[in-house]
Amino acid sequence: MKKTIFILFIITLQVLFANNSTKTILFLGDSLTEGLGVSKSEAYPSLVQELAKTNLNKNIKAINGGVSGSTTSDALSKLKWYLKRKPDIVFIALGANDGLRGLNLTQSQQNLEEIISHAKKANAKVLLAGMLIPPNYGPAYSKEFANMYLKLKEKYKLKFMPFLLKDVAGVQGLNQADGIHPNAKGHEIMAKEVFKFLKEEL
């Protein structure tokens, strides 16, 4: 009887510890992640943190590594600083500015590969979100851009979210006047989709 009680006590402690252990997630991105035009608390990384607590009773620490205008090259240059925070998970949501500026996608892919490699060496779980771009530079460029993410997914066996702005892009009531950046309601939808995508990793 005493042995049974002791075992139950240990199991209870393990469950409590698991629920109260805090995982750190680095959301590495651009203005879409930073939350341009909304407050930090309204941006999807902060909302994902809230959803983890509300839905899973999990404590996570969301680091918003989104910087407006950031390209894959910019993010790579800042990565070592972010990795000092020892994130358990790195959620990569980059590439939109590379595509919108028509940058060399071979270089963009190389930058992303270096980001993935550095994150893995830091013992972080890497998750990848894809983006889509308008055909401003022709259909061949847009196709190469979309395929870039698929190549990374396959090469590094990454869990992949095909489109960060699913159900938000192009919806007038969910975006700001520029038609590009989500408003607070848009970020709520992004947060729900991102949370659904990564909750098994928490």
Would you name the residues annotated as active-site residues? 31, 178, 181
Task: Evaluate whether 96 touches 170 at the Cβ level (below 8 Å).
Answer: no
3-state helix, strand, coil in the chain (%, to 5): 55, 15, 30
Assign 104 to helix, strand or coil. coil
Strand partners, 133: none
Determine the Cα–Cα distance for residues 180 and 172; give it in Å rounded to an integer. 10
Which residues, 6 or more positions from 13, have their beta carbon under 8 angstroms from its beta carbon?
none
Assign 124 to helix, strand or coil. coil
